[in-house]
Amino acid sequence: MTPDIHPAANPLADASREALSAGGALARADARHVERAAQLEMAQAVAEAIESRSALVAEAGTGVGKTFAYLVPTLLSGARALVSTATKSLQDQLFLRDIPRLRDALQLPVSVALLKGRASYLCLHRMKQARQSATLPDRWAVRTLAKVEQWSHTTASGDLAELDGLDERSSVIPLVTSTRDNCLGSECADFRVCHVVKARREAMAADVVVVNHHLFFADMALRDTGVAELLPSVEVAVFDEAHQLAEAGVQFLGTTLSTAQALDFARDLLGAGLQQARGLAPWQELQAGVEKAARELRLAAAGHLRELRGTIKLRWDERAGRDEFIAALQAVGQAADAAGAALDAVSELSPEFGKLGERAGQLAMLADRFALEAEQGRVRWIDISPHQARLVESPLDIREALSEQMAAGGKAWIFTSATLGDDDALTWFTEQAGLADARTLRVGSPFDYPAHARLYIPAGFPKPNEPGHPAAVATLAARCARALGGRSFVLTTTLRALQAIAERLRAEFEAQGDALRVLQQGEAPKRQLMQQFLAEPRSVLVGSQSFWEGIDVPGDALQCVLIDKLPFPPPNDPLVEARVKRLEAQGRNAFADYFIAEAAVSLKQGAGRLIRSETDRGLLVVCDPRMAGMNYGRRLREALPPMTRVATEAEAMAWLESLAGETLPF
């Protein structure tokens, strides 16, 4: 390399480029490895950030190979590293596949640990309690508990992800895992063999620790996940899928009072009272008091809302001033205080009663807090679902929390994702994360989008607010799916649209006698739906938010993605309203600086499902005339990869028919 291209000597950057190059260690270990200029560019920037202990925000398009671009310099540096990602499944991928593969190829003696939140690990004490309890909800729970108990004798990690077929929504999981509130700590009889303690001990001893964003921020808020002890000793902190970082932070840096939290306390109160202090307090009466208060709080929070399918977010001021809501909060506090007094009286009998007493005090404190005004710079709302109400107080972003962590100095901070904004400064991410001074880098995808992808924005289409819009989306989706023989996604911005479009699609296929199947989000777990989609090519999958990202379907299994409308944030969402008010108070244009920026990032995420490899081909359809007709449409179109635009449905169908006639290599 000439001095002009790499003016500053950087041994780590040189070693990273060498490892990733055509004749390097990765190519020698895997014949499929190819040198990619964009990957080399990103790896060099990561190496420079590590050497200078500075911050880097890097957007890397699909196909760049960003995981290896940050892992190779991180591993070669020999620095102690924390790698955080968005989900537990991505954590597992890094820990089980990516890092071991690189460690072997680079021949580095690097120790790696995986650290998840408490709810991912079996609690032996809680499992024994659940076995002795007669309050399991149904026979399925009894069977699941027996399966967990059988597995508990063979597992080394206690990570529930090892258990095949365990539904993450199972009612047994809260019974066999601990929380910060109910963990007995060193006073637990099973402390010496505790899986959470073992995982944290391994993390403290490892060179590289893989965590997730939720765990990182939960630790900031609670100091209860092991990250607090770990972070001071880390020299490199990497956040993959960083576009999800802010929302994870807002969720976990907030304060929450939930009726489920109160019901869990009531259940544990009764169980411990009857097992260890029967007759010493009216445990059933105290449990009933907490349960009744929790139910009344949910009813007061829900108001006139009765039949709910998903979760609805309500403005705080819709309920906060009402007498019945304040009375319900006071009742929760009183019931918790009564339980706390009874627990204090028996606290000498078992450490469990001390923990339960702390939980009673926490419940009462939260009830008092939510009866008062919110703190300055924070926003409140209420989440209502069929089974619980959650009162939430949250910061508007993660700036303050992240700045506090970074102020300690001495670390390299790497933030990366395929989608971090629609401008070179990556303002969408850097502003909400307080990273205006960080170096930014954008490396585009190496895929040939103009040749392999088409963008179609139907002319004369109903507007999203018109009643005929969902039906028109379904009808167009049916025509696309017929041309392809399935192999299509429909991504919706709301659950209501998802339901309407899926129903209309089924009706369209039945009316025409099409042998095409509609797979609908919510009818089966996400993983199962994806397995069905891959197993049955003559399918259309209709999904909402959770299918806009993190779905990887390379090859010709997916060749058409339809997006029902531009994914603007809901303007009546309390968090959105608070952010808009702050921008307007600063004299800024909230629509341009917030709504369009958010829509651009979400649109890139949804469109990113289409082309996943060098040989993929497909059609993206955005069923929203605003994308073509409004003056901001150009900014949104430019946020997408450079797909060739087709003007008419005839051109779009001709493209799909040409794809259907080919057998593409995977």
Name the domain boundary from 353, 373, 395.
395
Q: Which residues pair with 517 in a beta bridge?
A: 539
- Same domain as 456, residue 351: no
Q: Residue 318: give its domain's CATH number.
A: 1.20.1440.60
Q: Which domain holds residue 566?
A: 449-660
Number of compact structural domains in the chain:
2
Q: Say which CATH number the domain at 617 has.
A: 3.40.50.300
In a shared domain, residues 366 and 463 = no
Q: Is 417 inside a domain boundary?
A: no
CA 109/CA 316 separation, integer angstroms: 53
Residues 526 and 615 in one domain: yes
| Domain assignment of residue 229, yes or no | no
pLDDT digits (tens, 9 = 90+) for 30-87: 998 999 999 999 999 999 999 999 999 999 999 999 999 999 999 999 999 999 999 8
The fraction of the chain above a pLDDT of 70, given in percent, is: 96
Reference 40, options 92, 9, 1; nearest CA is: 1
Let me know: does 601 contact 418? Beta carbons within 8 Å.
no
Tell me the per-residue pLDDT of 135-185, one tens digit each, with 9 for 90 and over.
677 788 888 899 999 999 999 999 998 888 787 778 888 889 998 888 888
- Residue 662 is classified by DSSP as -
Domain boundary at 395, 412, 429, which?
A: 395
Token pair of 90, please? 């991505």
Structure tokens at 359: 């939980």
Q: Let me know whether 467 and 600 are in one domain.
A: yes
Position 6 scores a pLDDT of 47
Identify the pLDDT of residue 401: 87
Using the structure block, give the residue that is written with the tokens 């508007």: 396
Coil, strand, or helix at residue 313? Answer: strand
Q: Give the β-pairing of 55-60 and 412-417.
A: parallel
With respect to residue 509, please indicate whether it lies within any of the assigned structural domains. Answer: yes
Residues 6+ apart with CB under 8 A from 486: 516, 517, 536, 537, 538, 539, 540
**386 and 453 share one domain:** no
What angle do the packed helices 469-484 and 495-512 form, to 10 degrees?
50
Q: In whole angstroms, how far apart are CA 26 and each of 47, 105, 601?
A: 17, 6, 32
Same-domain status, 466 and 385: no
Q: What is the pLDDT of residue 111?
A: 96
Does 593 lie in the same domain as 476?
Answer: yes
Is the same domain home to 390 and 508?
no
Burial readout 594-621 (b: 16 or more C-beta within 10 A, e: otherwise): bbbbbbbbbbbbbbbbbbbeeebbbbbb
Q: Is residue 335 part of a domain?
A: yes
If we measure between CA atoms, which residue out of 416, 317, 310, 365 comes closest to residue 74?
416
The angle formed by the CA atoms of residues 585, 588 and 590, to the nearest 5 degrees, is 95
In a domain, 520, yes or no: yes
Instruction: With beta carbons less than 8 A apart as the criterion, state whether 181 and 197 touch.
Output: no
Query: Which of 80-103 are b and which e, b meaning 16 or more Cβ less than 10 Å from the residue's Cβ?
Result: bbbbbbbebebbbebbeebbeebb
Closest listed residue to residue 392, CA positions, set 479, 285, 311, 484? 311
| Whether 645 and 498 share a structural domain | yes
Question: Parallel, antiparallel, or unpaired for β 208-212 and 81-85?
Answer: parallel
- Residue 25 falls within a domain, yes or no? no
Size of the chain in residues: 666
The domain boundary, picked from 371, 395, 419, lies at 395
Residue 120 is assigned to a structural domain of this protein: no
- Tell me, yes or no, whether 78 lies in a domain: no
pTM: 0.89
The DSSP call for residue 192 is G
Low-confidence ranges of the chain (pLDDT < 50): 1-7, 663-666
Looking at the structure, do residues 648 and 532 belong to the same domain, yes or no?
yes
